[in-house]
């Protein structure tokens, strides 16, 4: 650690999906970059992982029965992925947040290099958004359009996809644009049967193979350039703003173990700490120039938080002949079909359905789009602080009648598709999970075309502070029904290309 007089070209906050890509793109373009990561590094994670596996095999350790661990991770332990890789998730006692009485939000976080994509049970489903999503606002009037189109983002999707080696099939669907695929994924006999029967009965519904890749581990590539300084256990608490120049100068951070505070300086600051955390940091970076939080002249920082609707879903027996039953897990995807070519009566937007199969079992899990609403927001708790004395996030977020109706529709549609395929529905888990459980949060610093109605421009640059960029899911004006991370990474790559151009042109 240590205060240094070095002024980096860029200081990146967070090394998750987005921060990792920012490090890779900026260093490969020749910039000297410092990344501050609140959690541990990859080697420390690997050592803990090996210990975890040894305890499981030699000592028959069960994460679920570890009451001490559960006490420290009361929130984190509610996600399906926690037992597989518990130490990847934060300690909830050290990292509290608050919600209004009776209005829970489940905030799932990983603090280590790679962020939540480093979790070993990560879903690794990567789908592009489409112009249906980017222009959803003007179709139904519920929120703004994006200030960019698929054509703007396509080259950057491609950069990410080629590097990750995404597998999947070319499906030619306008509302689920094809990626650049490294190799195809054949459908299993069960998925083929589902596809054939669903598409025959409902021509606007499609069953496609998943689109997947290994976790995007970008940090080694960035380190290889020799231009990246990675500082782990560095908890950023504020972004430093100079009222005289109107620019940010860097960040202040604390050593996670000793609590000692330091400063780091850069020509630009790239905030990529995750949707809720980035909003929290902006709000905590108050100054006389920005009494309501940095880059917040619009008053929109923290507002319009969204997360997909999520429920445990519908389980069925597929009644397949034994020779068609597969012992490996497979999963397929039914992209959004509501409000694509139709106009539904009861709700706007729609949902995609993830279809998991194993043996003779089938499980449909719909993920539905949440409409942006200003009252769903992140503020700072006036009383609760984290272990490092930083005000905790206060998260107010609830589903509206639109989401409730959409989920009801999805439960019915899943069952009718299962029945059409000859499956026997066995269990209907139709209780909507609390917001946050989909772990797809976006929206707290939306991008747009007008500084009055957005926080960032179309290049993730703060309207108020030209050398401040926020490149994580905070920038989403709306969320689509697809898993969001591929889009977050592509947007980061696009924003980084802009930063490099602007820096080289002397405009930053
Ligand atoms: C189990 C699981 C399965 C998932 N499956 C999918 C999927 O299939 N498809 C999909 O699209 N998405 C999936 N997601 C969601 C996906 O992982 C997130 O959308 C993505 O990781 C967000 O990237 P990010 O960089 O914004 O944030 P993160 O990946 O959360 O990274 C943020 C980083 O910032 C660091 N940080 C936070 N605060 C500070 C601070 N104050 N100072 C310094 N550093 C800080 C954190 O330690 C972390 O490393 C899944 C998530 C989980 C947990």
Rounded-to-integer distance, Cα 486 and Cα 491, Å: 9
Tell me how far apart the alpha carbons of residues 251 and 262 are, in angstroms, rounded to a whole number. Answer: 9
Q: Are 25 and 227 in contact (CB under 8 A)?
A: no
Question: What secondary structure, in 3-state letters, does 465-489 show?
Answer: CCCEEECCHHHCCCCCCCCCHHHHH
Name the token pair of 61: 């350790």
The CATH number for 276's domain is 3.50.50.60
**Spatial contact of 228 and 222, defined as CB atoms under 8 Å apart:** yes
Torsion of CA 401, 407, 410, 411, to 10 degrees: -120
pLDDT of residue 206: 98
Q: How confident is the model at residue 336 (pLDDT cuts 50, 70, 90)?
A: very high
Which of 1, 11, 14 to mutate to test ligand 1, by most ligand atoms within 8 A of the CB atom?
14
* Whether residue 81 has its Cβ less than 6 Å from ligand 1: yes
What is the best residue among 250, 273, 436, 440 to mutate for testing ligand 1's pocket, by most ligand atoms within 8 Å of CB? 273
Nearest CA to ligand 1 atom 3: 122
Characterise 13 by phi-psi region: left (phi > 0), alpha (psi -120 to 50), beta (else). Answer: beta
Report how many domains make up the chain: 1
What average pLDDT does the segment 148-168 reach? 98
Confidence check: pLDDT of 130 > 80: yes
pTM: 0.97
Sign, CA torsion 140/143/149/155: negative
Asked if residue 474 has pLDDT above 70, the reply is yes
Query: Is residue 444 over pLDDT 60?
Result: yes
Distance 47 CA to ligand 1 centre (A): 21
> Closest Cα to residue 367, out of 304, 433, 428?
433
Q: How close is the Cα of 238 to the center of ligand 1, in Å?
A: 20
CA distance 57 to 53: 6
CB–CB of 396/100 below 8 Å?
A: yes
Let me know if 178 is exposed, middle or buried by CB neighbors in 10 A (0-12, 13-18, 19+): middle
Report, as an integer, the average pLDDT of 194-212. 97
Residue 273 has pLDDT above 60, yes or no: yes
Is 2 a residue whose pLDDT tops 60?
no
Is 489's C-beta closer than 6 angstroms to any atom of ligand 1? no
Q: Which two tokens stand for residue 447?
A: 């991008």
**What is the structure's pLDDT at 345?**
87
Q: What angle do CA 264, 265, 267 make, to 5 degrees?
A: 150
* Ligand 1 pocket: which of 80, 85, 112, 115 to mutate (most atoms within 8 A of CB): 115
Distance (angstroms) between ligand 1 centre and the Cα of 191 equals 30
Shortest CA distance to 320 belongs to which of 202, 429, 192, 186? 192
* pLDDT (average), residues 133-138: 97
**How much distance in Å is there from the Cα of 110 to the middle of ligand 1?**
7
- Residue-wise pLDDT tens digits, 354-396: 999 999 999 999 999 999 999 999 999 999 999 999 999 999 9
Q: Which residue has the tokens 């021509």?
A: 203
* Cβ density class 326-363: b for 16+ within 10 Å, e for less: eeeebbbbbbbbbbbeeeeeebbbbbbbbbbbbebbbb
Top pLDDT among 489 and 326 is at 489
Mean pLDDT of 32-40: 98
Pocket test for ligand 1, best of 116, 254, 310 (most atoms within 8 A of CB): 116
CA atoms within 13 A on the CB side of 297: 10
- Residue 191 and residue 195: Cα distance in Å, rounded? 6
Residue in 82, 117, 164, 218 to alter for ligand 1 test, most ligand atoms within 8 A of Cβ: 117
Q: Predicted confidence band at 59 (pLDDT cuts at 50, 70, 90)?
A: confident
Ligand 1 and 11: CB distance under 6 A: no
Diameter of the chain by CA atoms? 74
Task: Count Cβ atoms within 10 A of the Cβ of residue 203 and give its class: 0-12 exposed, 13-18 middle, 19 or more buried.
Answer: exposed
* Ligand 1 atom at minimum distance from 18 CA: 25
Residue 485 Cα: closest atom of ligand 1: 11
CA count, 13 A, side-chain hemisphere, 268: 32
Residue bearing the CA closest to ligand 1, atom 23: 17
Instruction: Determine the structural domain holding residue 505 and report its residue range.
Output: 1-508
Q: Give 159's Cβ-side CA count (13 Å radius).
A: 20
Element (H, E) at 14: none
The larger pLDDT score, comparing residue 215 to residue 420, is at 420
pLDDT of 5 reads 83
pLDDT over threshold 90, residue 242: yes
Distance CA 114, CA 320 (A): 40
What sign results for the dihedral spanned by CA atoms 334, 335, 340, 344?
positive
Give dist(CA 441, CA 308) in Å, integer: 7
3-class SS of residue 238: strand
* Mean pLDDT of the region 98-115: 97
CA angle, 354 then 438 then 411, to 5°: 50
Contact 489, 483 (CB under 8 A): no
Give the whole-number percent of the chain exceeding pLDDT 70. Answer: 99
pLDDT of 226 above 60: yes
On the question of pLDDT at 3 being above 70, the answer is: no
Whose alpha carbon is nearest atom 1 of ligand 1? 122
Determine contact, residues 205/366, Cβ cutoff 8 Å: no
Per-residue pLDDT at 470: 98
Read off the pLDDT of each residue in 298-308 and give the average, rounded to a whole number: 98
What is the Cα Rg of the chain in Å?
22
| DSSP calls for 84-97 | GSGGGBPPTTTS--
DSSP letter for each residue of 36-77: E-SSB-HHHHHHHHHHHHHHHHHS---GGG-HHHHHHTTTGG
Ligand 1 neighbourhood includes 387 CB (under 6 angstroms): no
Ligand 1 atom 47: residue of nearest CA: 111
Across the chain, what does the average pLDDT equal?
96
């Amino acid at each position: 650690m240590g205060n240094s007089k070095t002024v980096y070209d860029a200081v990146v906050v967070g090394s998750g999906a987005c921060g990792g890509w920012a490090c890779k793109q900026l260093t490969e373009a020749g910039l000297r970059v410092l990344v501050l990561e609140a959690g541990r590094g990859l080697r420390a994670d690997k050592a803990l992982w090996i210990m975890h596996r040894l305890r499981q095999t030699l000592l028959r350790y069960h994460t679920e029965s570890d009451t001490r661990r559960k006490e420290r991770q009361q929130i984190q332990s509610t996600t399906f992925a926690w037992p597989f890789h518990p130490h990847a998730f934060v300690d909830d006692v050290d990292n509290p947040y608050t919600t209004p009485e009776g209005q829970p939000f489940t905030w799932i976080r990983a603090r280590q290099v790679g962020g939540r994509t480093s979790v070993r049970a990560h879903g690794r489903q990567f789908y592009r958004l489409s112009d249906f999503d980017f222009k959803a606002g003007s179709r139904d009037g519920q929120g703004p359009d994006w200030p960019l189109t698929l054509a703007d983002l396509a080259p950057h999707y491609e950069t990410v996809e080629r590097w990750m080696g995404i597998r999947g099939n070319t499906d030619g669907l306008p509302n689920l644009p094809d990626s650049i695929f490294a190799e195809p994924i054949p459908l299993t006999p069960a998925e083929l049967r589902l596809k054939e029967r669903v598409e025959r009965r409902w021509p606007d519904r499609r069953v496609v193979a998943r689109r997947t890749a290994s976790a995007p581990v970008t940090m080694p590539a960035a380190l290889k350039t020799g231009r990246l300084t990675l500082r782990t256990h560095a908890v950023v608490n504020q972004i430093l703003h100079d009222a005289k120049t109107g620019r940010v100068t860097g960040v202040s951070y604390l050593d996670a173990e000793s609590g000692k505070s330091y400063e780091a300086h850069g020509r630009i600051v790239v905030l990529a700490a995750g949707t809720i955390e980035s909003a929290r940091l902006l709000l905590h970076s108050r100054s006389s120039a920005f009494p309501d939080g940095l880059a917040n002249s619009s008053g929109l920082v923290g507002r319009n938080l969204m997360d997909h609707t999520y429920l445990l879903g519908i389980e069925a027996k597929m009644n397949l002949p034994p020779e068609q039953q597969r012992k490996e897990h497979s999963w397929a995807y039914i992209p959004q079909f509501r409000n694509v070519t139709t106009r539904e009566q009861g709700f706007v937007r729609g949902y995609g359905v993830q279809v998991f199969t194993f043996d003779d079992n089938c499980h449909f899990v719909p993920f539905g789009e949440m409409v942006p609403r200003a009252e769903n927001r992140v503020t700072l708790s006036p009383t609760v602080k984290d272990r490092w004395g930083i005000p905790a996030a206060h998260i107010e977020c609830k589903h509206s009648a639109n989401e409730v109706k959409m989920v009801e529709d999805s439960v019915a549609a899943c069952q009718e598709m299962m029945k059409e395929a000859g499956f026997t529905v066995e269990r209907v888990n139709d209780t909507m999970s609390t917001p946050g459980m989909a772990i797809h949060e976006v929206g707290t610093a939306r991008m747009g075309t007008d500084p009055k109605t957005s926080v960032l421009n179309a290049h993730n640059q703060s309207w108020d502070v030209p050398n401040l960029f926020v490149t994580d899911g905070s920038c989403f004006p709306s969320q689509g029904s697809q898993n969001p991370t591929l889009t977050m990474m592509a947007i980061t790559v696009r924003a980084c290309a802009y930063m490099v151009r602007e820096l080289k042109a002397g405009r930053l």
